[in-house]
Chain A
Amino acid sequence: MQRPFTVMLIIPTGIGAAIGGYAGDALPVARAISAVCDRLITHPNVMNGAQLYWPLANVWYVEGYGLDQFAAGHWGLRPVHGQRIGLLLDQGIEVDLRIRHLQVADAARATLGLSLTDAVVTDQPLGITLKTAASGVTWGTIEHPDSLLRGARRLIEQEQATAIAVVTRFPDNVASAVLADYRHGQGVDTLAGAEAVISHLIVREFQIPCAHAPALAPLPLDPDLSPRSAAEELGYTFLPCVLAGLSRAPQFVTDSSLTDVVKRSAVDAVIVPESACGGSAILNLSQTQTALITVAENQTTLAVTPKHLHLSAVRARSYSEAIGILVALREGLDPQSLTPNIRPIQVRP
């Protein structure tokens, strides 16, 4: 019996990825890849489309910090039948918007049958500050991370939550030109970097699955909205996809002696935008036998390629080509054998 063919798909958030830089617009890529592998490990930025989502039985929804720890060989992943999700709401969310999000959680229980604990509101407004660096990458900081951590701890210790969905009030004062670009499928998601920091902090501290949804005031109608951004304009909440993703997210396992745990050595291939190879997961997996496949077409604000970092990679022009390379690897073929240029074998001195 062959071992499960396992693929990791990474599209970092907040770097303006042409595919995956908007509102769940890499989900079709994940669906296609999941059809040619036994197990796809990917992260919320790929799977989350606000009120749109597409559960797939062989896709593992792993938060970015946990993904980095997994790729570094520090943590393992263990599948679960279901998670008990705790909803953590920022005190900075207005009452009406808070009620809306509680109703989303109730809808997820009643309509999808998900398991949720009672919700907790942070004891202070979290105070999110957004930042766009000269590189074009978006970041964010939290004014009261202690309040975020106290709220998460209450959910885990008092409500027995095994996963956490965080909803944070984000500033409405994003520059109008930047917001307009994003809604038109250009530029960088200004919220994304801060969202990542929020969930990374909780995962780092508690080693449980976590994902974030921003709370924002609804935007006025834009008739020229890009299809890539449209999923975030269906309503007043981005929470449904987060609850669906977390509901079956694998557990993080930090005890390396446990069995029944998937470790990084199980990953056969990792796919990443060609210009975004300077992250923790890619650099760690480059030290292993995992095949690195880069996708040129998915351009980002960065220019950090395998060539710059002396990484060995298989270059694909598009995700369609990357999927062909995956099929070759799955079948034990050298991807080079599918091209007209095969270098003759040399005799080493």
Chain B
Amino acid sequence: VDTIAADACKTEWVILTLPYDHPEPPQPELIEAFLRQWGEPLRWAITHVSEQGLEIEAVVFRMMDR
């Protein structure tokens, strides 16, 4: 049962900007691939769109050995 050791993982809030400058809808799979640099995305949303790109907020789940 206890396959996940104590303190083996964490959740973390992240905010980042993904460049976006073309007239097509954003690809969610690309956003999630981008977020995986920080951890497995549990919950995310585009919270602002600007000339710089898409502002994305997320909570990610990460094993501590990553």
Q: A65 and B5: CB pair below 8 A?
A: no
- Are A303 and B48 CB-contacts (below 8 A) given A283-B26, A311-B25? yes
In the bound complex, residues from chain B placing their C-beta under 8 Å from that of A131 are: 13
Q: Which of A115-139 contact B (CB under 8 A)?
A: 124, 131, 133, 135, 137, 139
Q: Is B44 on the interface with A (CB-CB < 8 A)?
A: yes
A20 to chain B, nearest CB (A): 15
Distance in angstroms between the alpha carbons of A84 and B27 in the assembled complex: 37
In the bound complex, residues from chain B placing their C-beta under 8 Å from that of A173 are: none
Distance in angstroms between the alpha carbons of A304 and B28 in the assembled complex: 15
Q: A65 and B2: CB pair below 8 A?
A: no
- Are A137 and B57 CB-contacts (below 8 A) given A64-B43, A145-B11, A283-B26? yes
Q: A310 and B28: CB pair below 8 A?
A: no
In the bound complex, residues from chain A placing their C-beta under 8 Å from that of B46 are: 278-279, 304, 309
Q: Is B47 on the interface with A (CB-CB < 8 A)?
A: yes
Q: Is A284 on the interface with B (CB-CB < 8 A)?
A: yes
Q: Among B9, B24, B26, point to the contact of A146 (Cβ < 8 A).
A: B9
Distance in angstroms between the alpha carbons of A135 and B26 in the assembled complex: 19
B11 to chain A, nearest CB (A): 4
Q: Is B61 on the interface with A (CB-CB < 8 A)?
A: yes
Q: B61 and A204: CB pair below 8 A?
A: yes
Distance in angstroms between the alpha carbons of A202 and B6 in the assembled complex: 16
Distance in angstroms between the alpha carbons of A44 and B25 in the assembled complex: 27
Q: A197 and B47: CB pair below 8 A?
A: no
- Type the 1/0 row for B1-45, where 1 means its CB is closer than 8 Å to any CB of A: 111111111111101000000011111110110000000101111
Q: Is A260 on the interface with B (CB-CB < 8 A)?
A: no
Distance in angstroms between the alpha carbons of A196 and B11 in the assembled complex: 13
A306 to chain B, nearest CB (A): 9
- Are A204 and B11 CB-contacts (below 8 A) given A12-B45, A146-B5, A149-B4? no
A131 to chain B, nearest CB (A): 6
Residues of A within 8 A of B (CB): 12, 15, 64-65, 72, 124, 131, 133, 135, 137, 139-142, 144-147, 149-150, 153-154, 157-158, 193, 196-197, 200-201, 204, 276, 278-280, 283-284, 286-287, 302-304, 308-311
Residues of B within 8 A of A (CB): 1-13, 15, 23-29, 31-32, 40, 42-49, 54-55, 57, 59, 61
Name 19 interchain pairs, CB-CB below 8 A, sorted by A: A12-B45, A65-B42, A124-B6, A131-B13, A135-B55, A137-B57, A139-B13, A141-B13, A141-B59, A144-B6, A146-B8, A197-B11, A200-B43, A201-B42, A204-B40, A278-B47, A278-B54, A303-B48, A310-B25
